[in-house]
Each structure stands twice: as structure tokens, then as C-alpha cells.
């Protein structure tokens, strides 16, 4: 198909969308003039982004009361497709839909991510990133791929989330793949999952009910019990509440829980455990992740995981008591 015939086609009604997608992708990668017309053109009857650009900008204005200029939109989409000169984002097109349907998702994800990073938009739903948790590992790899492809293509978190939830690689393999140490991996995973949960909460798709659950009250109970046990244990030895020394005085319950989580992450980082053991313990003890999900992440059976976690808890109990006896002296 030559470019002349493309000047009057309807991007929403393609009969042979695979062929046309291949054509557009090839031209975007190799033809600077075509790329200029495609990315910056304004005639919706021609082969360009005009129609989807107008629709996305209107949707954002209607739903978030934020006005995105054509120039800003074009810049964001260009950068995400360009991918540092590699154009590798285009290679993620999977031929499951028309190229323009795919590009609409990529473009909207990228624009929304920019607006969120610059604090132009916030999520106004009752469910929030903070009070929900992902249950992706309880779903099939195919379902996870569908969710990530729909919501995260075009973002910098796509590859990491794919490695975790679609390829089901172990943390050690992912750290090697992305040249990360443990702390970098933990931070990147936390950020990526935050972005995915936020995208799920804002999405018009119905993935949320399958892969995003409310945090159970058990998480709060576990954290509260841990705080109470630590306080009682040390008070019996010293007559004072250790939390006032470690976390500061007059902390609310939520602040105490948050400080406790931070403390547990820092404390476990100092234990002479393997990366895998530290990850298992944090996910089970601190994050209250379901054992079947943790087992899948580390590539072991549920029985193996339960045994390992039990042993780690005994080691932690011994270590934390030793720590308290030292700091309460």
C-alpha cells in the first residue's frame, strides 16, 4: 500500500489492520517526513494522530478538568515512541487490535503518567493505592499480560511489571536482568506496583475486581499486634515504652504502623539473610501477601514456603529480642 492511498483512510475502520500496522510502524521508524505528518498532523481524514489526540485531550479535560495542549500531547507521545532513539515501544504492538487502538492506549497512559508525576491530577475514588493490594499472581500469566498491556504500555514500568507478573521471574533473576541491587529492586517494584494500582483505579476496564483487592483488616491487626508485643516486651524489661524512643512520642496508630513498616524493612536489611529469604519474610510478615502468591514469585511450592517462613520468623524473633535488649539497656 502506498502513502497516497493512506491520505483518506479511516483509522478506526481498518479491514486488514495487521498489514496497515506493519506499514505505519515501518514508516515511523524509517521515514522522517511520514513521522512528522503522522505525529503532528491535524487533518483527521489523513493518516495521523489527529483523531485520537483530540479524543484523549477531550477525555482528560472532561474527567480531570486539565487542559493538555496539542504540543504537549505530541511531545509526550513522541518521547514514549522514540524510546531514546530505539523506537522499541513500537515493537510491543501485539496485533490484537488495530494499530490506532493500541496507540490510543499507549498515548493516554503516557500522558496520564506525566500529569500525575507533575501533580496535575489525583485519584478521587474511594479505593486508593494505599488501601488496596495487587493479586496479580493469583491470575494466569495471560490475564496479567492483558492487564499490563492495556494499562502500562508506554510507561517506564512496563518491562519490570512484565518480568514480575507475566514472565514470573524470581527477584534474583530480575535484579540481574535490570542490573539492580536489592534496595533498587524493592524501590522499583514498589513504584511500578503503585503506578499499576493507580492505573487500575482510573481505568474504564473491569480488571480492577480481578487483580486489585482491598487490604484486609488482618494487615492492620498484624501490625498493631507486633507494635503492642514489642512495647510490652521491652516495657517489662525497662519500664518504658520503646516506641517513644525509636519512633517518637505522640504518634497516631497510622503513623505507628507506617514507622513500624519502615523499621522492619531497615532491620531485615541488616540481617545476614539471602535476598530470597529477606524477600519472603518481608512479603509474608510485613506486607501480608498470600503465601501462594509469594511461593509463585520465588518459584517454590507452598509447603516449602511455609516451612521457610516459619524458620525465618524464629530467626527474626531471636534477632529482634537481641536488638531490643541492646537498645533498651
CATH number at residue 203: 1.10.10
**In a shared domain, residues 256 and 305:** yes
In a domain, 122, yes or no: no
**In a shared domain, residues 106 and 175:** no
**In a shared domain, residues 204 and 223:** no
**In a shared domain, residues 243 and 314:** yes
In a domain, 165, yes or no: yes
Cβ 163 vs Cβ 180: under 8 Å: no
Tell me the three-class secondary structure of 163-196, residue by residue: HHHHCCCCHHHHHHHCCCCHHHHHHHHHHHHHHH
Which range among 109-113, 217-221, 281-285, 299-303 shows the weakest confidence by mean pLDDT?
Answer: 217-221
Cα 184 to Cα 175: distance, rounded to the nearest angstrom: 8
Q: Which domain holds residue 313?
A: 217-327
pTM confidence score: 0.43
**In a shared domain, residues 112 and 150:** no
**In a shared domain, residues 106 and 9:** yes
In a domain, 41, yes or no: yes
β-bridge mates for residue 213, sequence order: 133
**In a shared domain, residues 254 and 320:** yes
User: How many domains in the chain?
Assistant: 3
**In a shared domain, residues 9 and 56:** yes
pLDDT digits (tens, 9 = 90+) for 40-76: 999 988 889 999 999 999 888 877 778 899 999 999 9
Among the candidates 117, 150, 183, a domain finishes at 117
β-bridge mates for residue 134, sequence order: 212
Among the candidates 117, 146, 164, a domain finishes at 117
Question: Confidence band (pLDDT; 50, 70, 90) for 324?
Answer: low
Cβ 49 vs Cβ 38: under 8 Å: yes
**In a shared domain, residues 141 and 100:** no
Query: Residue 38 burial (CB < 10 Å; 0-12/13-18/19+)?
Result: buried
Cα 226 to Cα 263: distance, rounded to the nearest angstrom: 12
Among the candidates 117, 148, 180, a domain finishes at 117
In a domain, 167, yes or no: yes
Which residues are CB-contacts of 256 (< 8 A; sequence separation ≥ 6)?
Answer: 227, 243, 247
Residue 214 φ/ψ, nearest 5 degrees: -65, 140
**In a shared domain, residues 166 and 209:** yes
Nearest to 69 by CA among 38, 45, 102, 40: 40
Which residues are CB-contacts of 132 (< 8 A; sequence separation ≥ 6)?
Answer: 197, 201, 212, 213, 214, 215
Give the residue-averaged pLDDT of 95-122.
83
**In a shared domain, residues 209 and 234:** no
pLDDT digits (tens, 9 = 90+) for 177-214: 999 998 888 888 888 988 888 888 877 666 666 777 76
Amino acid at each position: 500500500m502506498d502513502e497516497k492511498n493512506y491520505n483518506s483512510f479511516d483509522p478506526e475502520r481498518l479491514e486488514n489492520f495487521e498489514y496497515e500496522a506493519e506499514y505505519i510502524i515501518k514508516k515511523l521508524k524509517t521515514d522522517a517526513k511520514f513521522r512528522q505528518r503522522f505525529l503532528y498532523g491535524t487533518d483527521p481524514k489523513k493518516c495521523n494522530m489527529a483523531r485520537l489526540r483530540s479524543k484523549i485531550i477531550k477525555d482528560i479535560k472532561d474527567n480531570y478538568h486539565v487542559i493538555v495542549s496539542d504540543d504537549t500531547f505530541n511531545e509526550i507521545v513522541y518521547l514514549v515512541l522514540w524510546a531514546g532513539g530505539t523506537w522499541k515501544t513500537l515493537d510491543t504492538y501485539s496485533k490484537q487490535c488495530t494499530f490506532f487502538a493500541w496507540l490510543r492506549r499507549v498515548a493516554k497512559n503516557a500522558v496520564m503518567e506525566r500529569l500525575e508525576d507533575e501533580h496535575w491530577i489525583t485519584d478521587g475514588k474511594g479505593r486508593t493505592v494505599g488501601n488496596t493490594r495487587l493479586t496479580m499472581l493469583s491470575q494466569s500469566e495471560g490475564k496479567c499480560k492483558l492487564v499490563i498491556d492495556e494499562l502500562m504500555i508506554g510507561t517506564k514500568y512496563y518491562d519490570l511489571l512484565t518480568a514480575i507478573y507475566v514472565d514470573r521471574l524470581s527477584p534474583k533473576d530480575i535484579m540481574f536482568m535490570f542490573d539492580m541491587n536489592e534496595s533498587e529492586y524493592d524501590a522499583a517494584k514498589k513504584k511500578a506496583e503503585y503506578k499499576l494500582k493507580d492505573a487500575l483505579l482510573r481505568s474504564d476496564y473491569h480488571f480492577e475486581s480481578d487483580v486489585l483487592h482491598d487490604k484486609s483488616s488482618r494487615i492492620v491487626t498484624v501490625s498493631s499486634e507486633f507494635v503492642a508485643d514489642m512495647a510490652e516486651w521491652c516495657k517489662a524489661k525497662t519500664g518504658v515504652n520503646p516506641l517513644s524512643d525509636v519512633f517518637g512520642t505522640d504518634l497516631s496508630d497510622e503513623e505507628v504502623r507506617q514507622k513500624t513498616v519502615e523499621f522492619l524493612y531497615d532491620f531485615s536489611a541488616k540481617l545476614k539473610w539471602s535476598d530470597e529469604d529477606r524477600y519472603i519474610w518481608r512479603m509474608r510478615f510485613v506486607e501480608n501477601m498470600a503465601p501462594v502468591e509469594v511461593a509463585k514469585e520465588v518459584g517454590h511450592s507452598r509447603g516449602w514456603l511455609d516451612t521457610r517462613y516459619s524458620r525465618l520468623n524464629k530467626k527474626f524473633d531471636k534477632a529482634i529480642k537481641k536488638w531490643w535488649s541492646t537498645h533498651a539497656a
